[in-house]
Amino acid sequence: MDIAIETHQLTVAYNAEPAVWNLNVQIPLNAMTAIVGPNGAGKSTLLKAILGTVRKLSGSISLHPSIGNHNAAIGYVPQRSSVDWDFPTTVFDVVLMGTYGRLRWFQRPGKKERAEAMDALRQVQMDDLADRQIGELSGGQQQRVFLARAFVQQASVYLMDEPFAGVDARTEGLIIEVLRERQRAGNTIVLVHHDLASVSEYFDHVALINQKLVACGPTPATFTRENVALAYGSVPKQLP
Amino acid sequence: MLDFWSDYTIQLVVLGSAMIGALSGALGCFAYLRKQSLVGDVVAHSSLLGIVLAFWFTYLLTGTASKSIGILLTGALVAGLASLFLTDLITSYTRIKPDAGLGIMLAIFFGTGIMLLRFLQRSQPAIPGINGIDDYLFGMAATMTSGDAWLIAIVGVAALVTMTLLWHRLKLFTFDADYASGLGMPIQMLEVVLLALIVIGIVVGLQIVGVVLMIGLLIAPAASARQWTRSMAAMCVTAACIGAASAAAGAVVSATGSGLPTGPVIVLILSAVFAFSLVVAPGRGLLHRRRKVVS
Amino acid sequence: MVSEGLSHAVLPGLVLAFLVTRDYSSPWLIVSAAASGLLMIWLTQLLRRTNLVDDDAGLGVVFSAMFSVGVLLVSTKLRNTPFHSECIIDGNLALAALDQLELGGRDWGPRTMYVMGGLLCAILVVVIGAFKELKLCIFDIQLAKRLRLKPGLMEFVVLSLISLTTVAAFEVAGSVLIVALMVAPPAAAYLLTNRLSWLLGLAAGTGVVSCLVGFYVAVQIDTSPTGPIASAAGVVFLVTLAIAPKQGLLARWFEFRGRRNEMLELLVLQLVSEGGRPALSGLAITPQSTQRRIARLVDAGLLEIDSSDLLVTPAGASALHRL
């Protein structure tokens, strides 16, 4: 199996506190991988390190050559709560932001970019709400807007930070459906995931981390009660 | 009122005030959307120290008292940025909360500014023009010269050009800095540009509303414009118009003989616009909400 | 920053009451100004509930509007009274002593002394009397609710006291000083202690020291005392900030350096244990810094130099295992 992203002895620290410690993780190409661990385990930090937005203290990250290394090569979906949803902008405008990475300095998005944004909205079934203010959306709709914005980047790898947090069941089903479609089209999907009960159902691969790596590999072999207990300190109630 | 349209001075003051109002209003949108309203208050108060120091140093160096706003506002800019830098230092390395950190910096810079101002005002031999610095407390549009107006126009055009050229990046950074960073944008540079724009928006407004009430001119146009608009571009333009109209109206009231300080007049006009916007703004205001509940 | 808002918002109440009574020492001034402060708090909370504006922006617009009303009233109606606009900023601390209280033909000393003294007593009574209730409301509002302590009422009482203090201080000290004295001394005390009772005492002490120093400076350079007192409060804070034993910048910086060095040393040990000296090439610190870490680890007996490579000693291995 080809490896899409590999971290080698990755350490990231905020001031004097390590968030991720000496982490070796392999994320396979063309698979759905969950990053699972307790709060403060460094899951979001791992995503940011792969994106290159936090400084590494040690180690390296290598990407598969097919991914490319231009600015928008990795599609990113930040946590929904990280922005102010009362910002004066429409659904369509937010999705259009996904094309900004491709624009040269001082260039504005043109016809092509607008068509792509509309396309991405269609994929997440939000095209009829394109002109809606983002403040008027439900949690699930907001999440779908973020997803569409990442898809516009036309990347082959997508990193998502808890896309199912505070989302209704219908949206969760729709998002999984869209992601599986992406996987069939050859994309690599990495999710920070909180709901332990659905890990086995949704993901091919899983990386259990708690600052350090606990286990990483195909879900059936990796996502065992022993490993979860190692990562969390005890087996959480959510797990049957 | 008769002499208003023929009096060159009044025309100048009104035009200058409108430019300042537009600039502060538009740049205030960034402060509002980044939730840095109170930062604006602190920068404004702190800049008094910079203004007084700039005045004093020019006097010591050249022996003449200059009230050129180019010099005074440079002092304000430096002091404003220094207070922000110190607040950041305090809040990121100790357990003092940002709110308290801002309050302290305000107290130190403004308090020291007032002390120095009163000291200079009483010093013998009297420094010519030092009493004019008092105008920076509550604003006095009437003292504007044509040189001042030109300077404001140049600063305004520069800020406008920067804003337009970097518009998409600034917008994305204001909305979602994490994502902008993920797209490979130079976010530290954007942060500096944005902060500089906000501080410029504050500093140019000082002449007409003064350091104490500057937060009103910076935030009220943005907060009102937010109610009427559905995009950030529209919000900035609307805020600029509200700022310009209110500042011009305030300058007229103040300059046509009443002798009132300009700042409070402008801020009261702006507050009325704000209250009006909150109530009647289409699709968002309180009236709209009530109608929705009834139906 | 609410106290910044309050110190501005009491002005219209103060001026209005003065316009009606025309008496600079009327108690109505204080009542009306305190009411005006509470009005500001009520308005900002009202704005918050609409969810139409950012909280800080709402506060900013409300207090600047109220202050504007006050300034305009002063500059139109009160041009040639003791209440001129310089007082708004500076207060009248130096003149406060001249306003004597006369009762039954006898001079009882400055009136302000009685007002502030009375207020101090009231605050002491509330703070000491309701100390544990107040403490609980500050730290754990949920528990306070369950114990039926009425945190809403408590908040109202505290806000009223703050508002009253603001007003009383405004008359003598103007609007700058109030923020300075309400924020800087508590913040300085907060850097020195963790206990609420100590915090209150230290804050009060720091405030008194700031005022004495500031007043002395004011007398020396012959200006109104407001600016110097605010500056002094600021300087006392800055000094505390620099040298406070645990929370000060210096202490924090040394602690930060220590923790960071410790972390880096562990990281070096970890990397060497997995790939020897070559593994250190992935470390994003300067080669000199890496050398220093290695030297420290060798001194501590956790690492040893083996010809050109590095080896983790058994002691080093057990240190890693503990991690």
Domains of chain A: residue spans and CATH = 1-73+157-240 (3.40.50.300), 83-154 (no CATH)
Contact B119 C221 (CB under 8 A): yes
Q: Shortest CB distance from C284 goes to which of A17, A21, A57?
A: A57
List of residues 6+ apart from B124 with CB closer than 8 A: none
DSSP chain A: --EEEEEEEEEEEETTEEEEEEEEEEEETTSEEEEE--TTSSHHHHHHHHHT-S--SEEEEEE-GGG--STTSEEEE--GGGS-TTSS-BHHHHHHGGGGGGSPTT----HHHHHHHHHHHHHTT-GGGTTSBGGG--HHHHHHHHHHHHHHT--SEEEEE-TTTT--HHHHHHHHHHHHHHHHTT-EEEEE---GGGHHHH-SEEEEEESEEEEEEEHHHHS-HHHHHHHHSS--TT--
**For residue C184, is pLDDT > 70?**
yes
Q: Which chain A residues are Cβ-neighbours of B231 within 8 angstroms?
A: 88-90, 93
Q: Are C40 and B276 in contact (CB under 8 A)?
A: no
- Domains of chain B: which residue ranges? 2-279
Q: What residue spans of chain C are helical by DSSP H?
A: 2-21, 27-50, 55-77, 85-90, 93-96, 111-129, 131-139, 141-146, 151-190, 196-221, 226-243, 249-275, 287-299, 314-322
Q: CB of C283 within 8 Å of any CB in chain A?
A: yes
**For residue C77, is pLDDT > 80?**
no
DSSP secondary structure letter of residue C310: E
> What is the arithmetic mean of pLDDT over A210-235?
86
Query: The pTM is what?
Result: 0.86
pLDDT in tens, C266-283: 888 888 888 777 778 778
The CATH superfamily holding the domain B2-279 is ABC transporter involved in vitamin B12 uptake, BtuC (1.10.3470.10)
Q: Are A90 and A107 in contact (CB under 8 A)?
A: no
pLDDT in the model for residue C178: 77
pLDDT in tens, A92-111: 999 999 988 888 777 788 89
pLDDT in the model for residue B240: 95
Q: Which residue has the higher pLDDT, B214 or A70?
A: B214
pLDDT in the model for residue C172: 63
Mean pLDDT of chain C: 80
Nearest CA-CA distance, residue C54 and chain B, Å: 7
φ, ψ dihedrals at C311, nearest 5°: -130, 145
Q: If you count residue pairs, one on A and one on B, with CB atoms under 8 Å apart, how many are there? A: 75
Q: CA C191, CA C252: separation in Å to the nearest integer?
A: 11
What burial class does residue A1 get, using C-beta atoms within 10 Å of its C-beta: 0-12 exposed, 13-18 middle, 19+ buried? exposed
Q: CB of C284 within 8 Å of any CB in chain A?
A: yes
Contact B168 A103 (CB under 8 A): yes
Query: C263, C277, C285: which to substitute to probe chain A, counting the most A Cβ within 10 Å?
Result: C263
Contact A9 C256 (CB under 8 A): no
Q: Are A151 and A187 in contact (CB under 8 A)?
A: no
Helix axis angle for B262-280 and B286-294, nearest 10°, is 20
Q: Which residue has the higher pLDDT, A15 or A156?
A: A156
> For residue A189, how far is the Cα from the chain centroid?
7
**For residue C2, is pLDDT > 80?**
no
**For residue C143, is pLDDT > 90?**
no
Q: Are A191 and A36 in contact (CB under 8 A)?
A: no
pLDDT in the model for residue B126: 76
Nearest CA-CA distance, residue C251 and chain A, Å: 15
**Which other chains touch chain C, taking contact as 3+ CB pairs less than 8 Å apart?**
A, B
pLDDT in tens, A176-197: 999 999 999 889 999 999 888 8
Q: Domain end: C55, C83, C111, which one?
A: C83
Q: Which residue has the higher pLDDT, C46 or C3?
A: C46
Q: Domain end: C83, C99, C118, which one?
A: C83
Contact C249 B94 (CB under 8 A): yes
Q: Which chain C residues are Cβ-neighbours of A55 within 8 angstroms?
A: 284
Q: Domain end: C53, C83, C113, which one?
A: C83
Residue A61: beta bridge partners?
A7
pLDDT in the model for residue A190: 94
**For residue B223, is pLDDT > 60?**
yes
Q: Which chain A residues are Cβ-neighbours of B230 within 8 angstroms?
A: 88-90, 133
**Which other chains touch chain A, taking contact as 3+ CB pairs less than 8 Å apart?**
B, C
Q: CB of A6 within 8 Å of any CB in chain C?
A: no
**What part of A 160-219 touches B (C-beta under 8 Å)?**
none
**For residue A62, is pLDDT > 90?**
no
Nearest CA-CA distance, residue B62 and chain C, Å: 24
pLDDT in the model for residue B248: 92
Q: Which domain holds residue C318?
A: 250-322
* Residue of chain C nearest B285, judged by CA positions: C52
Classify residue C16: in a domain, yes or no: yes
> What is the arithmetic mean of pLDDT over C100-104?
62
Q: CA A166, CA A218: separation in Å to the nearest integer?
A: 27
Q: Shortest CB distance from A88 goes to which of B179, B183, B230?
A: B230
Residue C229 exposure: Cα atoms within 13 Å on the Cβ side: 29
pLDDT in the model for residue A57: 87
What is the percentage of chain C residues whose pLDDT exceeds 90?
Answer: 2
Q: If you count residue pairs, one on A and one on C, with CB atoms under 8 Å apart, how many are there? A: 41
Q: CA A34, CA A29: separation in Å to the nearest integer?
A: 13
Classify residue C225: in a domain, yes or no: no
Q: What is the longest distance spanned by two Cα atoms in chain B?
A: 73
pLDDT in the model for residue A88: 93
> What is the arithmetic mean of pLDDT over C219-224?
79
Mean pLDDT of chain B: 86
Where on the phi/psi map is residue C109: left (φ > 0), alpha (ψ -120 to 50), or beta?
A: left
* Residue of chain A nearest C262, judged by CA positions: A16
**For residue B1, is pLDDT > 50?**
no
Indicate the number of domains in chain C: 2
Grade residue B18 by pLDDT with cuts at 50, 70 and 90: very high
Classify residue C58: in a domain, yes or no: yes
What burial class does residue B201 get, using C-beta atoms within 10 Å of its C-beta: 0-12 exposed, 13-18 middle, 19+ buried? buried
Query: C40, C71, C246: which to substitute to probe chain B, counting the most B Cβ within 10 Å?
Result: C71
Flag the least confident range among A106-115, A164-173, B129-138, B220-229.
B129-138
Contact C68 B264 (CB under 8 A): yes
Q: Which chain A residues are Cβ-neighbours of C270 within 8 angstroms?
A: 21-22
Contact C179 B267 (CB under 8 A): no
Classify residue C73: in a domain, yes or no: yes
pLDDT in the model for residue A122: 92
φ, ψ dihedrals at C123, nearest 5°: -65, -45
**For residue A240, is pLDDT > 80?**
no
Q: Is the peptide bond before A88 cis (omega within 30 degrees of 0)?
A: no
Q: CA B265, CA C31: separation in Å to the nearest integer?
A: 26
Grade residue A215 by pLDDT with cuts at 50, 70 and 90: confident
**What part of A 110-149 touches B (C-beta under 8 Å)?**
133, 149
Q: Which chain C residues are Cβ-neighbours of A24 within 8 angstroms?
A: none
Q: Which chain B residues are Cβ-neighbours of A14 within 8 angstroms?
A: none
One-letter identity of residue A138? S
How many of the other CB atoms lie within 10 Å of CB of C225?
Answer: 27
pLDDT in tens, B62-108: 877 777 778 888 898 899 989 988 888 888 888 888 888 888 888 88
Contact B110 C248 (CB under 8 A): no
Q: Which chain C residues are Cβ-neighbours of A13 within 8 angstroms?
A: 260, 263
Q: Are C311 and C298 in contact (CB under 8 A)?
A: no
Q: Which chain C residues are Cβ-neighbours of B263 within 8 angstroms?
A: 68, 71
Grade residue A147 by pLDDT with cuts at 50, 70 and 90: very high
pLDDT in the model for residue A91: 93
Nearest CA-CA distance, residue A173 and chain C, Å: 31
Q: Which chain C residues are Cβ-neighbours of A86 within 8 angstroms?
A: 51, 54
Collapse the DSSP code of C113 into the 3-class scheme (helix H, G, I; strand E, B; otherwise coil) and give the result.
helix
| Nearest CA-CA partner of C293 in C279, C280, C274 | C280
DSSP secondary structure letter of residue C127: H
Q: CB of A58 within 8 Å of any CB in chain C?
A: yes
CA B100 to each of CA B61, B95, C1, C52, C227: distance values in angstroms, whole numbers, following the listed order: 37, 10, 7, 25, 19
Nearest CA-CA distance, residue A122 and chain C, Å: 31
* CATH number, domain with residue C282: 1.10.10.10
Q: If you count residue pairs, one on B and one on C, with CB atoms under 8 Å apart, how many are there? A: 196
pLDDT in the model for residue A69: 72
Helix axis angle for B187-228 and B8-33, nearest 10°, is 110
Flag the least confident range among C159-163, C170-174, C276-280.
C170-174
Q: CA C214, CA C218: separation in Å to the nearest integer?
A: 6
Q: Which chain B residues are Cβ-neighbours of C53 within 8 angstroms?
A: 223, 226, 278
Q: Are B20 and B207 in contact (CB under 8 A)?
A: yes
Contact C231 B115 (CB under 8 A): yes
pLDDT in the model for residue C109: 66
Mean pLDDT of chain A: 88
How many of the other CB atoms lie within 10 Å of CB of A234?
Answer: 8
Nearest CA-CA distance, residue B20 and chain A, Å: 24
Classify residue C90: in a domain, yes or no: no
| Nearest CA-CA partner of C236 in C271, C273, C211, C259 | C211
